[in-house]
Amino acid sequence: MPGPRLSPFRQSFLRVLSAICCVFIAAAVMARETLDFNRAWRFTRSDPDGAQAPSFDDSGWSVVSTPHTFNDTDTFDNWSPPGHRGEGEQWSGRAWYRKTFAVPAPWRGKKVFIEFEAARQVAEVWLNGEKLGTAKSGFTPFGFDLTPHLKTDGSPNVLAVMTDNRFMVDPDPGAKLAPGQDRAGSLHDMLVRMERDMPARLEDLQAGQIPWNNPHWHPAHGGIYRNVFLHVTDPLHITLPLHSFLQTEGPYAYATEISAARARVGIDVPFRNDRASAQHAVVRVEIFDASRNKVLAAEAARDIAPGASGKVTLSSDIIRPLLWQPGYPHLYRVVCSLSVDGRTVDRTEVPLGIRTVRWDPQAGFFINGSHVKLHGWGQKPTDEWPGLGAAQPDRLHAYTLRLMLDAGGNFVRWGHAAAGPASIVAADRFGIVTLQPGVDGEMDTSGAAWELRSAAFRDVIIYFRNHPSILIWEGGNQKVSRGHAAELRAHMDNYDPHGGRVYAHRRADEITAAFMDIGIGTEGGREIARLPVVEGEYNREEAPRRVWDDFSPPTFGYAAVPGKVQTYRLNSEQFAVNQIAHYVKKLGSPAHAGGANWIFSDSTSGGRVETEVARASGEVDGARLPKEAWFVCAAMWRSDPQVHIIGHWAYPAGVKKTIHVASNADEVELLLNGKSLGRAKPEMRYLFTFPSVAFSPGSLTARAWRGGKEIAAHTLRTAGPAVALRMTSPLTGRPEKKTYDGLPAKSVLLSADGADVALVDVEAIDADGNRCPTWQGRVDFALEGPAVWRGGYNSGRPGSINHTHLDLEAGINRVALRATLEPGRGVLRARADGLRSAGIEFESMPPPSPVFAASPSVERFQPEAVLPVSAPDWQAVPALARPQPPLVRTASADEKMAGRFTKTFSYSAPGSQITHLDTDAQPGKNAYADTDSPFGELPAILRGADWIKACNSDALYNAVDLVELAVGTGAVVIIAHDDRLPRPPWLADQFEQTPDKIAVLGKPMTLFVRRMPDGGSLTAGANTEAGAPAQANMYVVFVAAAK
């Protein structure tokens, strides 16, 4: 009698499981295999009792593949709350994943480990009803040995994972309260309470008590949002780089003596013998270059007792090594193996990049003997995306890094927790120098939270120490205590002593700096003047992509919205032009190593503009569509000739405006319809300005000149009326003969693994195929075939995700489709009123084998970088004529003072471009940089003092680290604070109120004083953290001699 008929989906699901099992059987006969364990999990966004039990019925749960987040449907959909609080209106709680699998016979007698690249925020892992452990860091890889609880008799094994993303939310100082309800207090109050209530034991630490689990810093996207792997090994095996729960390290490859002629390479290979008897094993290492040529081989034999662990260190020379650096990211493959009686029993691979680095406080950054200016971005480790959240396939993470590279970026700072393996591997391959933190928000912590943070930093170092792109380990986004700094530094010294990397903190003081090699600056600041500095966060402005300028329809500028907080109200043109001033003024000094613009893509963390659904600080928007600022960065940072006209050329009749051009040339000529409007010399190196250009339809061309020769050109053309839609994919695709309404279509490729993503761009075009840059209207989509609609977003409209319609912005928008487990073909169609429709085909291909021949760190689901045809001539570099260590540290013996009593200061509010330190305060001098604001009478202690001449327009700006300063010897810091405002907690806690007052702009300001230790530093926050009047003075910071 025939059985019940299965749905096509269930038939496909069973085919996938059958294929995976067949691969498992084939893999099991090999020495070691790493298996993609992402496909076909059961999932519920609920917390049913007994979900960890093998007998639990999960048949009603949905089927998902990892990477997966349960917050993909509720992100980028609410107004960004002011005050840097981040997106808080998201589902949070406990959710469950389950996977049932049978172990094939060849696995018997093997070791089976599971690796999670990360899960948010807390993950409990169970196998067959046995709890394996609980991971709580949220951003670091972890794993377990499944072997003790694994059924190998063919009966099913049940793996269950509970994820908990309950998160803390900053208090809303402007919230309307019910009668009798107490205000929640400030962020400072919340953090004080958190530390007061912090449990001492890690097992008692809850998800909502973890300081970095806060959308203020990291969007709280819950789930198994990175990859999952199984590692099947012999009982005699090379151990995994997963310290928490396994207490093991993986191989460690490094170079200690580096020159153009040779490099001394060392490889530590750790192993463990879980066989029942002693083994005589041979440890072998082979190194291959990018062309697969073997360049080194070494081996050693060891007798290993049963249950014993050990480590073999092998070393040898690579002759004429190919070095790793931006522009030439050469990677070696290090193959480590164990053999017994001539048979290989285990094998794994790690990458190796050979480079020598020097940081110099007077000269900046050098790699392989050559000076390199670092320029790039900070980016959130969630790397979040509208409609997808933090759960993306590897190739999408690589796509983000590729966009950085294409704009001339060679540096990324992940803030303020560890980036995932996919992003680090992409940086290796693209030659992007990387700052990798552990886990942090923006403060020191204690108790169980510190135990977790310290262990996570150790785990990050062990897991990622073979990746050559990582040159900086960041111990924290703020200073920490002496004991904590020593503890974190010891992790680097113990687990990465030869990696050529430096240890650093942002917002450091001399206590933390005693353990640092370089400093991490903010807004061009330099807290520790004797140390080299790399920028961590400059240019925190915000501007959406959709608003061109003040002359362009349909918005004609970025309008003020009554009742909404708009700390920044910049259009795309202003945001783009400002890139140049921020970069040149803050990082332009030859002594500055360069660093990170904050941030690369628009994020749902920490915004300050209540009329956007994201923090619009990115040079690309949340869907990675470039803003004009991206092109400006490319014009500054790329080494090839660049010129870019900021904006478009499709204005209403009668418009006359300034045209801004960004270029790395010496001179730029502007031509309108072929007629020259003159030439311009650069302002601030890269900006060329042509005032009062009258719009005339046709073409606007910028020609860039250097040394009397034209080196580049850029032309904008006036688009006609929109007549049609056009659909393309920024990722891989292939042309198809089929057309939709006369427009050619392309086929987009997907992998039918349930997690892959296709991107589709939709444009409004004129009859000649030009994008219509001011067309903003609704487009409706219809999807047919094996894919899930994930859509996109509109940055100025809440609730725009989860719909099959979107507005185009500046003539374009981008949507995403997610693969299912079903192969096949489909089509996505788009239509808009009055325009010809468009379509694009996609094909979901059977996924590749889930077995890696090497290891995930070497073999990732993303494109390979292409090396230049010729390697640099390292023989011609004087510094490489003799062996160099992987890291050369230099520091200045004497520190320059920024003022008479002030060593260094930084200021992070919108007015940072004109804020500066002034000296010799006297009556009649202006208190502020942006308005006529003469001091009246000053008490004796303030006469002759240094003061930070800030912008009074920043009075209501919110930041926990608005001012950072360090003082010399014998100094006091005095702050004058407006009496119309409530005193912020940081002021009341750190300073003593005096009876003295000064008057600024006719308003009384009380003086608060703090005696500083010699060389001490402090951080000052927002002017107010509670509801504030519309008018208030910015506080004034003085540094004076102690009396």
Annotated catalytic sites, by residue?
A: 537
On whether the CB atoms of residues 817 and 842 are closer than 8 A, the answer is yes
Scored b (16 or more CB within 10 A) or e, 579-597 reads bbbbbbbbbbeeebbbbbb
- The position carrying tokens 């305060």 is 921
In angstroms, the CA 450 to CA 212 distance is 11
In angstroms, the CA 800 to CA 131 distance is 41
In angstroms, the CA 782 to CA 804 distance is 7
* Beta carbons within 10 angstroms of residue 759's beta carbon: 22
Name the β-bridge partners of 366: 358, 371
Helix and strand numbers (H, E) in the chain are 10, 59
Phi, psi of 774 (to 5 degrees): -110, 10
Q: Are β-strands 370-371 and 902-907 bridged in parallel, bridged antiparallel, or unpaired?
A: unpaired
Q: Are β-strands 699-706 and 709-717 bridged in parallel, bridged antiparallel, or unpaired?
A: antiparallel
* Crossing angle for the helix pair 394-406 and 421-430, to the nearest 10 degrees: 40
Long-range CB pairs of 658-661 (<8 Å, 24+ gap) are 658/689, 658/690, 658/691, 658/692, 658/693, 659/689, 659/690, 659/693, 659/700, 660/573, 660/576, 660/577, 660/687, 660/688, 660/689, 660/690, 661/687, 661/688, 661/689, 661/690, 661/702, 661/714
HSE-CB at 176 with a 13 A cutoff on CA atoms is 0
In angstroms, the CA 945 to CA 6 distance is 82
678 φ/ψ sector (left φ>0, alpha ψ -120 to 50, else beta): left
Contacts of 727 (CB under 8 A, 6+ apart): 745, 746, 760, 761, 762, 763, 828, 830, 838, 839, 840
Please give the structure tokens belonging to residue 12: 């496909």
Rg of the chain in Å (alpha carbons): 29
HSE-CB at 594 with a 13 A cutoff on CA atoms is 17
Taking alpha carbons only, the member of 890, 859, 712, 879 closest to residue 325 is: 879
Q: Are β-strands 156-164 and 94-102 bridged in parallel, bridged antiparallel, or unpaired?
A: antiparallel
How far CA 345 is from CA of 31, 32, 342, 453, in Å, comes to: 5, 7, 9, 36
In angstroms, the CA 475 to CA 482 distance is 12
- The position carrying tokens 């999932």 is 43
On whether the CB atoms of residues 719 and 770 are closer than 8 A, the answer is yes
On whether the CB atoms of residues 162 and 119 are closer than 8 A, the answer is no
On whether the CB atoms of residues 188 and 984 are closer than 8 A, the answer is yes
* Beta carbons within 10 angstroms of residue 296's beta carbon: 22
